[in-house]
Amino acid sequence: MNDLILILNKEPSVTVVLITLIGLLLGSFLNVIIYRLPLMVQSEFLTQCQALSHTSCNKPAQGDKRFDLAWPNSHCPHCQSPIKAWQNIPVLSYLILKGRCHNCKNAISFQYPFIEITSGFLAVVSWQLFGLSPSGIAFFIVSLLLLALSTIDLKTFLLPDRLTLPLLWGGLLYQSIYRPPFLNEALWGAVLGYLILWSIYWLFKLVTGKEGMGYGDFKLLAALGAWLGASLLPALLIMSALTGLIIGLAYKVKNRGHRGGVPFGPALAFSGWLCLAFPDTVRAIMAKLFL
């Protein structure tokens, strides 16, 4: 393994291509998670609802058939035709098919190549910032999880526990193995991250009688606190508020007439990613602004 890393370090152009390809392939799988995980959560919720009420309340769309990340095989959501291997090549297949299903000619969402390209970009950024190291691999995995959570939240207003909780526990585990002196701050970062948004939630609800955010936001900030530590939480919250304002305006423009809430997960995820990628820069900017 060390010999392979040495070879890759001596051939940066080869490394960039290889890492980009890995990112594209993982981005393709990320699209599966983004599409299927909310459906899985909804199906499980409806199944539990039916079990608790002992009625036939709205059976899950998937019925009793198996539906998870591995089954059924990829297929067109419009005509249900199976997607062949040559139609599932990241980015390239989208270009060959001109953004349309080979069978029914319905448009394929641009989300698919966008997620794949973004994943490839994140893979290269991870390598550039941290090299081929445990830190680089961890940063890349965190980046993919934040990308998936952001996209799911934008589409469904969900931040599934199946992604936020592994992100939280993974952060604490990483600190315990690779940065033991930082573990205490990471633990407090997780605790305070959850409590801050939990307190804001209840204060807003007591004053207005409305819910301003979901519990998934608490868990996401706790997970980011586990990776960043308590000291970066103030900067993260300020950046998230500003980013959330921009995302909220864009969301309102895109969804004209929408009077509901705006997902806060993407703002947390993007701001958290910036803090994780450039912690010293974030601290320096915040120091100049507030000191």
Model confidence pLDDT, tens digit, residues 128-181: 999 889 999 999 999 999 999 999 999 999 999 999 999 999 999 999 999 999
* Beta-bridge partners for 1: none
287 and 179 belong to one structural domain: yes
Q: Of 29, 63, 19, which is closest to residue 43 (Cα–Cα)? A: 63
* Position 58 pLDDT exceeds 60: no
pLDDT at 219: 97
The rounded mean pLDDT for the chain is 89
pTM of this prediction?
Answer: 0.90
Confidence tier at 257 by pLDDT (50, 70, 90): low
Query: What is the mean pLDDT of the segment spanning 113-129?
Result: 97
pLDDT of 2 > 60? The answer is yes
Instruction: Among 112, 132, 152, give the residue marking a domain's end.
Output: 132
Residues 183 and 283 in one domain: yes
Where among 132, 150, 174 does a domain terminate? 132
Question: What pLDDT does residue 12 have?
Answer: 77
Q: Which of 132, 160, 182 is the last residue of a domain?
A: 132
At 189 the pLDDT is 97
Lowest mean pLDDT of 61-65, 173-177, 194-198, name the range. Answer: 61-65
Domain identity same for 261 and 249: yes
Per-residue confidence band for 60, with pLDDT thresholds at 50, 70 and 90: very low
CA 38 to chain centre: 13
Question: Which among 285, 251, 286 is positioned nearest to 265, based on CA atoms?
Answer: 251
Is the Cα dihedral 161, 40, 120, 267 positive or negative? negative
Q: Which structural domain range is residue 49 located in?
A: 1-132
Task: Give the residue carrying structure tokens 């970062």.
Answer: 189
Distance CA 4, CA 214 (A): 45
